[in-house]
Structure 1
Amino acid sequence: AAGAGPGPLFLILDDNFYYQSMRYEVYQLARKYSLSFCQIFLECPLECCLQRNRLRSHPVPDQTISLMATKIEIPDLQKNTWEQHSLILKNSDCTSENDEQIISLLATALENPVQQNEENTEQKEADRVLCAASAVHQADQSCRRLISQAMKDAKGQNVLPSEMKSLAEELNRLKAEFLEGLRQGNNLKNQMNTQNQCSDSPTSVISSFQQEVANVVNKYV
């Protein structure tokens, strides 16, 4: 209609966001500025993902996608109140029904922006759990940086290309095992009990991984 104001602005974050803590960081921003928040989770079978990946011009290794499938955390609408505006699509292909569900989700989210005072005991406990998960995410990023630097150092010492590939595979396996152990173990829990900020980098936890990386690299140089 003439003179009508601009419509709502949608910010679409298109990424894996495989940890709930990654998505929760976005929710916290929405809560800080009283914005609407919703999420669409595409639950695609692993084999379908692998097939589609092989059709890409630059496919990633199958191992990467398989590992992602084991790590990804599906929205828990029952446990996490902050994930109540979530839509889990299980179809491999988009349908008109999916379009209607997405439009309905967006409309509901727009009508119910996140309020800054939406806090309760259960949510605070959920925040604490997600805080620990966020620390694992930070550890993941630190591990990636350590591996990247280790690969550069190995290349600088003239490690053969064939051995560089083996080194990369071994370091990535080490990272996957380390992070899984971190999520299942008590080291991170004990650390989080002594910290007040989720943003604190788990440096002490990473030091052991750094030593393991050095041990692996030393076998190749």
Structure 2
Amino acid sequence: MKPGGEARGARGEGQRKLGLCVLCGLPAAGKSTFALALRHRLRRELGWAVGVVAYDDVMPDAFLEEAGAGPVPSQWKLLRQELLKYTECFLLAVINGCPVSAPANRTEAMWEDFITCLKDQDLLSSAAPEAPPGYLLTKTAISGPLFLILDDNFYYQSMRYEVYQLARKYSLGFCQVFLDCSLETCLERNGQRPRALPADTIQLMARKIEEPNPKKNAWEHNSLTVQSPACSSAASPALTDLLLAALENPVRYVEENVEQKETDRIVCSTNILHQADQMLRRIVSQTMKEAKDEQVPPSKLKLLAEELNKLKAEFLEDLRQGDRKYLRFQHTAELSGVVSFFHCEKDSIVHKYFSKQHLKS
């Protein structure tokens, strides 16, 4: 059977309406409070089954606490993809009317937290001891429309597009809600949290965040920006209209050569990343040589190396995620634009340690 076939059959019979809602915005923008208020209202007023999957609650603490700084970007990407796979397992169970089975390859702690999350919202229950292993759908989960709200920063559009692809695969409704909150407010709220993020992490995300852009991306047409703080906006008519439109107009599954396109994309991406990695490594190495020639003290050399390597890692992750903000040079090749912008960012760091005119090679 083709991907999404089961979903299209169910929708054709009018039996179930299923939707995915991406809730995105800066840390401490008020997403979790907004999501809970929205879930409560949709259940009370419309009788929908609603589940909120808050990524902060499901990601394993072991990863979050590693070295006190959290996982590196590549680990985050793998964890996010794994969590989306868990979401697909649940949706397939709803579509096919069967128990939820644990995937073969999983991070046990994260899978258990995901299951607990859905149990706490009365969407799953444990099977009887004598039954085959798995988790049963509750009456709430199998009656009426069902919406899953994915609560995370989703600061790159590529992160949100992965959710859209899942909706398209099974012909589900899809929409996005962006909580627009000032950086100053987010920093203030974050500072009041027991487990506050480093301020520079939020500031960096604010510079990188890609808000939904329906004019540029057709797949983002079903999006809404909500001003925060304003939890009462969870009851706004515009938001209700957005969710209803998503349920009534599921994303159509389009058959295409997905495997070949993905292979081509990976090959192209890998080549570009490899070239960029080599070029940025040479720049960092040359800069460290200049610093030693300028007799920068060893203690400062170490700090400089840490800052430069962190900058390099961020640039490579931006390329990996498809961030185009660095490719702003209209008349140069793609990698030349990245290297030019890296030099600018690098120089702003280097000036804190020594002031020699740097080579651009």
TM-score of the aligned structures, taking structure 2 as reference length: 0.36
Match of 1:56 in 2: 193
Indicate if the aligned counterparts of 2:226 and 2:233 stay in contact, CA closer than 8 A: no
Distance 1:180 1:26 in 2: 19
Match of 2:214 in 1: 77
C-alpha spacing 1:118/1:44, structure 2 compared with 1 (3 Å): farther
1:36-55, aligned counterparts within 5 Å? Answer: 36-55=173-192
Q: Aligned with 2:150: secondary structure?
A: coil
Q: Aligned with 1:10: secondary structure?
A: strand
Q: How many residues of Structure 1 are paired with residues of Structure 2 in the alignment? A: 156
How much does 1:173 deviate? 3.5
Match of 2:314 in 1: 176
Structure 2, gaps ≥5 residues long: 1-46, 48-141, 278-300, 328-333, 338-361
Structure 2 letter corresponding to 1:74: E
- Is 1:15 matched with 2:152? yes
The match for 1:100 among 215, 237, 242 is 237
Across the aligned residues of Structure 1 and Structure 2, the Cα RMSD in angstroms comes to: 4.1
Match of 2:55 in 1: none
Match of 2:228 in 1: 91
Q: Which has the larger radius of gyration?
A: 2
1:174-213, aligned counterparts within 5 Å? Answer: 174-179=312-317, 183=324, 184-185=326-327, 186-187=334-335
1:131-146, aligned counterparts within 5 Å? Answer: none
How much does 1:170 deviate? 5.5
Distance 2:179 2:233 in 1: 15
Distance 1:91 1:75 in 2: 16
TM-score of the aligned structures, taking structure 1 as reference length: 0.57
Q: Which has the higher strand share?
A: 2
C-alpha spacing 1:8/1:47, structure 2 compared with 1 (3 Å): same
Q: Aligned with 1:38: secondary structure?
A: strand
Aligned-residue sequence identity (percent) comes to 48
Indicate if the aligned counterparts of 1:89 and 1:98 stay in contact, CA closer than 8 A: no
How much does 1:174 deviate? 3.6
Q: Aligned with 1:13: secondary structure?
A: strand
How much does 1:79 deviate? 1.6
1:93-132, aligned counterparts within 5 Å? Answer: 93-96=230-233, 99-117=236-254
Q: Aligned with 1:56: secondary structure?
A: coil
1:145-184, aligned counterparts within 5 Å? Answer: 171-179=309-317, 183=324, 184=326
Structure 1, gaps ≥5 residues long: 120-126, 144-162, 190-221
Distance 1:42 1:114 in 2: 23
Structure 2 letter corresponding to 1:175: A
Structure 2 letter corresponding to 1:173: L
Distance 1:172 1:28 in 2: 31
Match of 2:116 in 1: none
How much does 1:45 deviate? 0.5
Match of 1:28 in 2: 165
Distance 2:200 2:166 in 1: 33
Match of 1:148 in 2: none
Distance 2:318 2:242 in 1: 33
Indicate if the aligned counterparts of 1:36 and 1:110 stay in contact, CA closer than 8 A: yes
Deviations 1:125-174 (A, max 9, x none): xx99xx69xx59xx7xxx9xxxxxxxxxxxxxxxxxxx999976664334
Deviations 1:71-128 (A, max 9, x none): 1101011121111110111232222475332222111111100011399xxxxxxx99
